[in-house]
Chain A
Amino acid sequence: MNGFFLAFAYLRHHVGRSIVLVLVTALILFVPFATQIMLSASEERLTARAETTPLLLGRRGSALDLTMAALYFSDDRPTPVTMSEVETIWDSGLGIPIPLHFAFESGSFRIVGTSLDYFDFRELEIAEGRNLAVLGDATIGADIAAALGQGVGDTLVSSPENLFDLDGVYPLEMPIVGVLARTGTPDDSAIFVDVKTAWVIAGIGHGHADVIPEGSSGDVVAAAGIAQYQRITPDNIDTFHFHGDPADYPLSAVIVSPNDTRSATILLGRYLDPDGTVQMIEPAPVVQRLVDRIFRIKSVLDAVTFVIGIAALAAVGLAVFLSYLLRADEMATAVKLGARRGMVLRLLLSETLILLLLAGTIASAGVLAVSHQADVWVGWLAGFGV
C-alpha cells in the first residue's frame, strides 16, 4: 500500500508528464483493438448486404464495380442494361426481378429508381409519411432527412447531368412523401423514386402543355412556347408520357430474388456466355473476395501497427527509465533510511502499474465506445467514401 501511496503521490505531483505517459500508452493499447473492431464491423456491413442479395444482373464487366454500384451506391455508373432483361426474368418464372436505375443525383445524394418490391426485399420501413404511390413521389433515407433537415411535404430537385448541355436532362422537382426508418445501410443515404420517375429525369418520359391548341384544326404545334413540366402534379400528371419501346428503357442493374437454389443455378447458367452483353453474378462471393483482399492488406497494417506500437512502448519505457534515473538520489536516501529490499523495485512497479491501469481504463473505455458505435461510425465513414 505504501508503494502505491508514494507512486500515486509522485505521479500526481508530475501530472503533466503522467498524463502524457498515460495517454500515449492508452493510445498504443487502443489503436489495434479499435482497428480490429472497425474492420470487423466494416466486413460485417459489407458482407451482410451482399449476402442478402442473392443475384445481381448488369452489363458485363467488373463484377466488383457492379456490386459496389448496385448494393452500396458507389460513385460508379455502370453502363445500363435494358428493361427487356427484367421482362425476360419475369417470363422465366425463376425469380422476381427488382429494377434499379441510379444514374442521377439530388445534390450529393443518389436517386434510386426502383419498384415497390425493393422495399419488401430490403425490409425498409416507413418512419414518416407513406411509400411511393404516384409518378414523381420520393421517399428518402434517414440520413438524408437528418442531413438536409427535410421531411414529408418538402421537395427535392434532381441535379442536371451537365450544366452546359441545354438539350440534356432537365431537373425534376419531386415531393418527399415518406422518410424511411434508419437501417445502418446505404439505403439511409438514398432517395427512392419509382423507376418511371427515374426515366422522367432521364428525359425518356415527360409532360408538357397541350400541343394541339383549342380551336385549332388538329395539327400538332411544336413551338418554344410549349411549357415542359418540371414537377409532376395532379393537374399535369396525365400529360406525362414516355417515348420509345419500354423494352429499351435503361436500368443500371437488376436485383434478382430467385425462387429457390435451383432457380438461382439455372439463372446463373443462362448468363454464363462470355460473349453476352449481360452478366448475372452472386454478390456475396464478390464481396468476400474484396474483404479477403482488405484483410490481406490488414495483416500488413497489423505488422506496421505492431512495429509502431513496439517503438512507442520503447519510447514510453525510455521516458519511465529516465524518470527513474532522475530519482536516483531519492532511491539512495530510501536505502539509507532503511528501505526494505525490493522497496525501490516495488515503488517503480507500483508507478508502472498505476500508469498501465489508467491507460488500460482509458483504452478500454475507448474500445467499448468503438464497439458500441462501430456500426454508426462505419456507416459515417462509408458516407465519406472511406
Chain B
Amino acid sequence: MVELEDLDFAYRHGNFRLRVPHLAVAAGEKLAVVGPSGSGKTTLLNLIAGLETPQAGRVSVADRDIAAMPDDARRSYRARSIGFVFQDFALLDYLSAFENILYPYRIASGLRLDGEVRNRARLLAQACGIADRLERRPGALSRGEQQRVAICRALVTRPSLVLADEATGNLDPVNKAAILDLLFARADEAGAALLAVTHDHDLLPRFDRTVDFADFREDQA
C-alpha cells in the first residue's frame, strides 16, 4: 500500500533531518507512529501525503512514486486516496457539521458532490453518533463531537489511507478510546490503512504495529 525506501528529507532551513531506510504499510493495516516531539512524525505524514518532497529516496503509494507525480495529480491523489484527521480537527467555523464533512467535495478536483455522497455523509454521521448534530456549527459542538465530524470528513471520500496526526491528543481517556474504536471500525469498513501518530502508549497494543521515530531522526551538526 505505502512504501518508503531510503528516504532522506531535510527542511531547507534548520538542522532537522529525517532518514527512513524502509517503512511499509499494508492495505488495511493499523500502524501507530510514536516518538518524541520533533522526531519527524508529522513530517512523515506530509511526505506520504505528497505535501513535502524528499531530497532522496522514494515514497510510493500503490507502486506510484508520489514525488514524481505532477502537482495536479498529487492533489487529486490526496483528495481521493488520503483521509486526514488533524489534532486540532481543523473544522471550519462558518460551515455546519454536515457541510464540514462534505468540505473535501467543495474544494478538491475530481470529487463530485451528489446525492450519493450526501447520503454516505449522513450514514457516516449516524455511525459516529452525530446524526442529530449535523446542522450545528463546530462552535456549538463538544470536542468529542468535533473530533467525530473530523473523522467523518476524513472517511467520506472512502480513502485507502487514513493519516491521523494525534487525533486523540486533546481528548479525555473515555473519549480517546471511543474515537479510536470509531476510527478503527470505520477504517475497517472502508478497507483503509491507518497510520496514526500518537503520544499515548496505552493505545499502542490496539494497533497492528508500532514504529518508533526516535530511531529515524538525525540532528545535523
Contacts and interface: CB of A to CB of B under 8 A. Distances in A.
Interface of A: 2, 5-6, 9-10, 12-14, 329-330, 333-341, 343, 347
Nearest to B137: A13
B90 A333 contact: yes
B60 to A, nearest CB: 18
B93 A337 contact: no
Contact of B107 (A9, A12, A329, A334): A334
Interface residues of B, number: 29
Interface stretch (B16-24, B76-84, B128-136, B141-149): B76-84
Contact of B72 (A13, A14, A336, A341): A341
Interface residues of A, dominant DSSP: helix
A337 B76 contact: no
Nearest to A330: B92
Contact of A339 (B92, B93, B94, B108): B108
A328 B81 CA distance: 24
A342 B49 CA distance: 19
Contacts of A334: 107
B95 interface: yes
Contacts of A14: 94
Contact of A341 (B75, B78, B93, B94): B75
15 contacts: A2-B106, A2-B107, A6-B107, A9-B94, A10-B94, A333-B86, A333-B90, A336-B51, A337-B104, A337-B107, A337-B108, A338-B107, A340-B75, A340-B109, A341-B75
A338 B107 CA distance: 7
Q: Name which of B93, B106, B113 has the most chain A CB atoms within 10 A of its CB.
A: B106
Contacts of A335: 51
Interface string B101-112: 001111111010
Given A2-B107, A329-B90, A330-B92, A338 B99 contact: no
Given A333-B86, A338-B75, 5 more contacts: A336-B49, A336-B51, A337-B107, A338-B109, A340-B109
A338 B90 contact: no
Nearest to A340: B109
Contacts of B109: 338, 340
Contacts of A343: 107
